[in-house]
């Protein structure tokens, strides 16, 4: 008897013409980088607000005032700085998107 290899039967539901190999779109990579950028930006905002609040608490403890004026001042100041950084980042992203659309 001959040495015969067994091959599974072809799938009757798919003909060779129906099988298509698709490549992922090329524009997926910048979108992923954008997500990573904004995740990093959220950590930066958290760090700025956290450090500003901690510094306000530290100054407040050293001044020994009853009303937490330094804590409030540095907390709100750090929030303003964090949102300014967010605004600048969004403005730069919008500018780069407009440049990419022109090309």
Contact 48/81 with Cβ under 8 angstroms? Answer: yes
pTM of the model: 0.63
Flag whether pLDDT at 14 surpasses 70: no
Flag whether pLDDT at 7 surpasses 60: yes
Q: What is the pLDDT of residue 15?
A: 58
Domain ranges across the chain: 44-97
Contact 48/33 with Cβ under 8 angstroms? Answer: no
* pLDDT tens figures, 29-61: 556 677 788 888 999 999 999 999 999 999 999
Residue with tokens 């450090």: 51
Residue with tokens 């950590």: 43
């Amino acid at each position: 008897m001959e040495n015969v290899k067994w091959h599974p039967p072809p799938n009757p539901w798919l003909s060779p013409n129906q099988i298509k190999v698709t490549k992922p779109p090329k524009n997926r990579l910048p979108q992923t980088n954008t997500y990573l950028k904004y995740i990093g930006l959220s950590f930066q905002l958290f760090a700025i607000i956290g450090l500003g609040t901690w510094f306000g608490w530290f100054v407040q403890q050293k001044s020994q005032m009853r009303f937490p004026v330094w804590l409030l001042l540095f907390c709100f100041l750090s929030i303003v700085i964090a949102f300014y950084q967010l605004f600048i980042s969004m403005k730069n992203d919008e500018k780069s998107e407009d440049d990419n659309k022109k090309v």
